[in-house]
Amino acid sequence: MMTPSNFRETPGIEKRDDATVVSELPPDSNNGVNGELEQVVDYWNAHLNSTQFLGDSPIEEGSPEFFAEIEAGFERFPYKAGLFDHIAQLPGGKLLEIGCGLGNDLCQIARRGLDATGIDIAPRAVELAQQHLASRDLKATVMRANCEDLPFASDSFDIVYSSGVIQHTPNIKAAAAEILRVLRPGGTLVIILYHRYSWFNLLSKLTRTNVEFADADAPIIRTFSKGQLRQLFRTATDLKITMEHFRPSPTVRKGALGALFNRVFVPCYGFMPECVIRPFGWHAVVIGNKAHTK
């Protein structure tokens, strides 16, 4: 199993005394960049994705109750069921998920009969994703890998899927290039990233609330406008970008700002119509195809 030091050195990073600055990004899209790959690995190994939704009750990691609670968090993102149904209808059916975490989305994909492979940079996430699949009697390949340097031959997959992952990697241009490299000509990418002009991003700044976990945010977090996403995936064809949202849950933040969020915003949001909230959703869903070679 690879350790962080075994990963290929990431290009496009200029080291300064006070921070690490990613220089190969679309203009204005490197907000919040202050970490490197090893810091990213350490953070996500300690902060397993989806465990932020478990609540306060102690649950043994890897237990049936643990995976049941993790799967319950899937209900926070109601648009994903339809998205996976769409993915299941795409030709080929050989899928790579980048950043599979604990395997929540990977289980949903495997249930739909796709030939799925999941990768994650955090070794503990890979172990638990394998346990998650086994506990549900589902089959998929899970391995540790770096999205900036995928260990697959070119044109290997019909579909590449990733949800809320590559905005955390130091060299996101390298990750985008790798996604298109491993796709077969005509294959489809489905990539979910963070939308800059969203209610969630605005509120996190106004209330000074962390985006990821309450105790600490990830070393690198980027948000994007539609224009920046089109630039990032500019070599893809038939590119479509839509915004999706999720229903907010109360924050653990205390004080006046926390009370305002929990007692005013959360209940009011539930009454807002879809046409109003969706354009300002936190999730930007990018769907496109790899161009056929001439």
Q: Which of 145, 129, 130, 169 is nearest to 10 (CA)?
A: 169
Tell me the per-residue pLDDT of 49-81, one tens digit each, with 9 for 90 and over: 888 877 666 789 999 999 999 998 888 888 999
Q: Which of 132, 164, 127 is nearest to 52 (CA)?
A: 164
Q: Is the pLDDT of residue 103 over 90?
A: yes
pLDDT at residue number 255: 73
Distances (CA, A) of 264 to 213, 253, 270, 279, 280: 22, 14, 11, 21, 18
pLDDT at residue number 201: 87
Pick from 4-13, 206-215, 267-276: least confident = 4-13
Task: Supply the mean pLDDT for the chain.
Answer: 83
Express as a percent the part of the chain with pLDDT over 70: 83
- Which has more confidence, 42 or 19? 42
Half-sphere exposure of 31 (CA within 13 A, CB side): 12
pLDDT at residue number 150: 97
Q: At what angle are helices 123-135 and 37-46 packed, to 10 degrees? A: 40
Neighbour tally for 68: CB within 10 Å: 11
Q: Are 198 and 280 in contact (CB under 8 A)?
A: yes
Indicate the domain borders of the chain. 13-289
Residue matched to tokens 């979910």:
192
- Which has more confidence, 30 or 152? 152
User: Domain 13-289 is of which CATH architecture?
Assistant: 3-Layer(aba) Sandwich (3.40)
Among 61-65, 195-199, 233-237, 278-282, top mean pLDDT goes to: 233-237
Q: Is the pLDDT of residue 245 over 60?
A: yes
Q: Is the pLDDT of residue 3 over 60?
A: no
Tell me the per-residue pLDDT of 157-211, one tens digit each, with 9 for 90 and over: 999 999 999 999 999 999 999 999 999 999 999 999 999 999 888 878 877 778 8
pLDDT at residue number 283: 95
The span from the CA of 162 to the CA of 283, in Å, is: 12
Those residues with Cβ within 8 angstroms of residue 270's Cβ, 6 or more apart along the chain or in another chain: 247
pLDDT at residue number 252: 64
Structure-token pair, residue 81:
């069921």
Average pLDDT value for residue range 226-248: 92
Average pLDDT value for residue range 122-149: 97
Environment class of 263 (CB within 10 Å of its CB; exposed 0-12, middle 13-18, buried 19+): exposed
DSSP string, 143-175: EE--TTS-SS-TT-EEEEEEES-GGGSS-HHHH
Output the pTM of the full model.
0.83
